[in-house]
Amino acid sequence: MNMLKVLICDGMDESGLALFRAAPELQVDMPEGLNAAEIKAILPEYDAMVVRSRTKVTAEMIENAARLKVVGRAGTGVDNIDTAAASARGILVMNTPGANATAAAEHTLAMMLSLARHIPQATHSMRQGLWEKKKFMGTELAHMTLGIIGLGKIGSIVADRALAMKMDVLVYDPHIVPEMAAVLGGEYVTLDELLARSDFITVHTPLTPDTKHLINRNTLARTKPGVRILNCARGGLIDEEALYDSIVSGHVAGAALDVFEREPPAGSPLLDLPNVIFTPHLGASSLQAQENVSRAIASQILDYLQTGLIRNAINFPSISMKEYERIRPYLLVAERLGHLQGQLCTPVLKLEIIYSGSDLQEIPTQPLTQTVIKGLLDPIMAEKVNLINAPLLLKQRQIELTTSTTSQSKGYTGEITVKVKGRDEEYSASGAVFQGQEVRLVRLNDYRLEAELEGINLIIQNRDKPGTIGVIGTTLGNYKVNIADMHLSRIRERDRAIAIIRVDHEAPAEALDELRRHPSIICVKQVKL
Ligand code: NAD
Ligand code: MLT
């Protein structure tokens, strides 16, 4: 049995480890405190790696990781993973969305209450033997306005809990429909309105080039005097220098920060401000959340390594188990058709994929498309082609892609047609699944067939003349090439016929040339499926 190896870089709750350990074909290693260079050095041995936020998965770290198939982020944010570099190398990146959302939302609420009632400062003061009742006068949250930027999984829970505390909730999120805020009981507003009306502002967006320094000098200037700012999402969403200046100027009354532009934020002047409270990136640090993310990432990685099922991927369309079961038989059709076409037509300049029949309606066909591309490019590329890097490689080779779906079928409940166009040749091949598992080529150009899509095949087009099949059989026999199976089809009115001949061993070039020289034979191709 080929062992698969998983490297766990930042520790992992026992619940997920137990799932990994229960898989006999898996070896799990969890070395403690490795630095980036040490991880890079051992990574080529591993098929999967699991990280939280400590390990930065850079292009350099994975450049020699030839076996690595998947990077699993036990958590939400993937800004510590160079996803583009992973995609280019065909490595799947997945996270566990929502698995720590309650923990992060509750932490935000805890921070807001602590900020409003100076709880950390009062605790510190009491430890010093003081009893400073006047100094720590607080503010109630009820009837205060909370502005939530980003109404995703965490923002929504924050909204729900804040509304329960009788706060007025404003929401800004350009990627949702306003009704989503209304359903929760919040008010959907523009960013300007949110800034101008909120007593507390909390950010819950991912860190992207778009959201970097979302809270900056300019936006802070548009907030209400006395506003308090919270960040339990990602360092970098707030320009910390601008926040510092706004607090020192007295415009911002306080801040609660769980995440920082640099973690830990050693030397940050914010640490010296008495009205700013901190936690060391604890948003997801609840026993329940750690158990959830650990179990989720382990089962997702196991699914991927053991069955190919992809869930919660950042660089591949995720599909549900039900959808996966529906498309599973067609994955092989897609790959084999791609393989066939990549060998029949060189170079391919245009690729068109048509999904027809009831089986292929209303399901995500993107994984099938990526499988066709993988099949097409795999035999011709030196580098590893897989479902993740296939679209990128197609783009790099400037192959034009179009896809379409039609409910009309030509007799099969599901049929995939892959058309390729080269400089001066074009081929159309359609495949279907027979009896739920047999993958057949049902059409090649205008020829109707039912040939198994497997093994080594000679595809021979000839004039529809008596004796041609005999010539083919004799020629192959002379070169000791045994025929395993043969499918014939013809278009009588055009005097054309085709033979798909599966052979036990590759036919030598001389045999193919001899066949090509025969006056009735128009074209001979050998393809390996
Ligand atoms: P999510 O994807 O469910 O929600 C993000 C929301 O932000 C989406 O609704 C999206 O539409 C919105 N958004 C994107 N760009 C925006 C913009 N420019 N302006 C306003 N809204 C925008 O993510 P989530 O699971 O709710 O996580 C939110 C954040 O919390 C992420 O940054 C995540 O990494 C972080 N997080 C932190 C901790 C922690 O330990 N502190 C724990 C979990 C998650
Ligand atoms: C996350 O994005 O899930 C959080 O930052 C928590 C973590 O660090 O894992």
Q: Is the CB of 305 under 6 A from ligand 1?
A: no
Question: What is residue 384's predicted lDDT score, i.e. its pLDDT?
Answer: 77
Please check whether residue 349 lies inside any domain of the structure. Answer: yes
Write out the residue range of the structural domain in which residue 372 sits: 320-453
- My answer on whether 213 and 264 are in the same domain is yes
DSSP 362-373: SS--HHHHHHHH
Please check whether residue 195 lies inside any domain of the structure. Answer: yes
Please check whether residue 524 lies inside any domain of the structure. Answer: yes
- My answer on whether 134 and 265 are in the same domain is yes
Q: Of 73, 234, 440, 518, which residue is the catalytic one?
A: 234
Please check whether residue 244 lies inside any domain of the structure. Answer: yes
Please check whether residue 313 lies inside any domain of the structure. Answer: no
What is the β-pairing status of strands 415-421 and 350-356?
antiparallel
Please check whether residue 315 lies inside any domain of the structure. Answer: no
Q: Which ligand is nearest to the CA of 152?
A: 1
Q: How far is the CA of 36 from the centre of ligand 2 (A)?
A: 19
Q: Is the CB of 52 under 6 A from ligand 2?
A: yes
Count of positions (residues) in the chain: 529
Question: What is residue 1's predicted lDDT score, i.e. its pLDDT?
Answer: 62
Q: How far is the CA of 283 from the centre of ligand 2 (A)?
A: 7
Give this prediction's pTM. 0.80
- My answer on whether 256 and 395 are in the same domain is no
Question: What is residue 437's predicted lDDT score, i.e. its pLDDT?
Answer: 77
> Measured from the CA of 234, which atom of ligand 2 is nearest?
5
State yes or no: is 291 an active-site residue. no
State yes or no: is 281 an active-site residue. yes
Measuring from atom 39 of ligand 1, which residue has the nearest CA? 283
Q: Is the CB of 312 under 6 A from ligand 2?
A: no
Q: Give the model confidence (pLDDT) of 236-277 as tens digits.
A: 999 999 999 999 999 999 999 999 999 999 999 999 999 999
- My answer on whether 442 and 301 are in the same domain is no
Regions of the chain where pLDDT drops below 50: none
- My answer on whether 423 and 350 are in the same domain is yes
User: Shortest CA distance to 258 belongs to which of 273, 244, 237?
Assistant: 237
User: Residue 260: which CATH number?
Assistant: 3.40.50.720
Measuring from atom 8 of ligand 1, which residue has the nearest CA? 152
- My answer on whether 93 and 44 are in the same domain is yes
User: What is the number of other CB atoms lying within 10 angstroms of the CB of residue 14?
Assistant: 12
Q: Is the CB of 147 under 6 A from ligand 1?
A: no
> Measured from the CA of 75, which atom of ligand 2 is nearest?
3
State yes or no: is 234 an active-site residue. yes
- My answer on whether 405 and 472 are in the same domain is no
- My answer on whether 214 and 298 are in the same domain is no
- My answer on whether 448 and 467 are in the same domain is no
Q: How far is the CA of 250 from the centre of ligand 1 (A)?
A: 28
Q: Which ligand is nearest to the CA of 10?
A: 2
User: What is the number of other CB atoms lying within 10 angstroms of the CB of residue 320?
Assistant: 12
Q: Is the CB of 281 under 6 A from ligand 2?
A: yes
- My answer on whether 144 and 107 are in the same domain is yes
Alpha carbons within 13 angstroms on the beta-carbon side of residue 492 total 0
Q: How far is the CA of 205 from the centre of ligand 1 (A)?
A: 3
* Domain stops at, among 389, 419, 453: 453
User: Residue 331: which CATH number?
Assistant: 3.30.1330.90
Please check whether residue 215 lies inside any domain of the structure. Answer: yes
User: Residue 520: which CATH number?
Assistant: 3.30.70.260
Q: Do 36 and 63 meet the contact criterion of CB atoms below 8 Å apart? A: no
List the structure tokens of 454.
């497997």
Q: Do 146 and 165 meet the contact criterion of CB atoms below 8 Å apart? A: no
Q: How far is the CA of 59 from the centre of ligand 2 (A)?
A: 21
Please check whether residue 283 lies inside any domain of the structure. Answer: no
- My answer on whether 292 and 376 are in the same domain is no
Q: Is the CB of 102 under 6 A from ligand 2?
A: no
Question: What is residue 433's predicted lDDT score, i.e. its pLDDT?
Answer: 93
Q: Is the CB of 73 under 6 A from ligand 2?
A: no
Question: What is residue 317's predicted lDDT score, i.e. its pLDDT?
Answer: 80
- My answer on whether 334 and 226 are in the same domain is no
User: Shortest CA distance to 454 belongs to which of 477, 485, 499?
Assistant: 485
> Measured from the CA of 104, which atom of ligand 1 is nearest?
42
Q: Give the model confidence (pLDDT) of 155-177 as tens digits.
A: 999 999 999 999 999 999 988 88
> Measured from the CA of 95, which atom of ligand 2 is nearest?
3
Question: What is residue 176's predicted lDDT score, i.e. its pLDDT?
Answer: 86
* Domain stops at, among 405, 420, 453: 453
How many domains in the chain?
Answer: 4
> Measured from the CA of 54, which atom of ligand 2 is nearest?
8
Distance (Å, whole) CA 438 – CA 440: 6
